Structures are given as structure tokens and as C-alpha cells.
Amino acid sequence: MPSRTGQVWQHSRGGITLKIRLTPKSSRDEISGAEDFGKDRVLKARVRAVPDKGKANTALVKLVANWLSVPVSSVNLVSGGKSRLKSVAVAGDANALMRILRDRLADRE
């Protein structure tokens, strides 16, 4: 059976876009792998920040940048500002970013 891990991202103009389910007010900041969420495959992310005035979204952007070893300026929230399901764009070489992402997810399985 083929892995669905690759479905958490898609190519976008100038990089990749990630689908992320965010849990705010957690005990730690982490991306803990991928999961099925409805008909989609998403990354599971948790941040300590509260969902007040964009604090959790800001923490998510920093978490994704750190997790993928890219500058924070390369990561932007595209949609889902007030939702737990987010789309996050990461600017850069899409193939290199996908390799990093595959490696990070392989460590979580």
C-alpha cells in the first residue's frame, strides 16, 4: 500500500504549501507527524501559544521554519487564520523542501 505521507504538501509558486492541523495551548511546540483529517492528509502541529490575536499562528510559522531549517521570512500563513486547519506556504526550492519534509516525517513513523 503506498504511503499517503506525500499528500501533506503540494507544489506551489516558488515553493510548497503545507496542510497543517494546529492544536494551540499545548504543553510544547512540535510537529508530531501526519494524520488523516477528513479526506485530507495533514501535518499535526502543536504550539504553546494561545489562539489570541494571531499568537498561535505566529508560533506555527516559527515552528515550521525551524522544523524545515528555513528562515522565518520564507514561511507564510496562506489560509486558516481562525481555523485549526491551516495552509502554510514555504518559499524555496520545492524539491529540496520536499526532501527535507520526507526526512522529517520518516523520523516520526
pLDDT of residue 106: 87
**Domain range for 39:** 5-108
Region class of 105: left (phi > 0), else alpha (psi between -120 and 50), else beta: alpha
pLDDT of residue 82: 93
Please enumerate in sequence order all residues whose Cβ is within 8 A of that of 36, keeping only pairs 6 or more positions apart, or say none. 4, 42
Q: What string of pLDDT tens digits covers the 109 residues of the chain?
A: 333 444 799 998 899 999 999 999 999 999 999 999 988 899 999 999 999 999 999 999 999 999 999 999 999 999 999 999 999 999 999 999 999 999 998 876 5
CATH of residue 53? 3.30.1200.10
Residue 20 CB coordination number (10 Å): 24
Domain count, the chain: 1
pLDDT of residue 109: 59
pLDDT of residue 5: 42
Q: Would the CA dihedral through 103, 61, 69, 89 be positive or negative?
A: positive
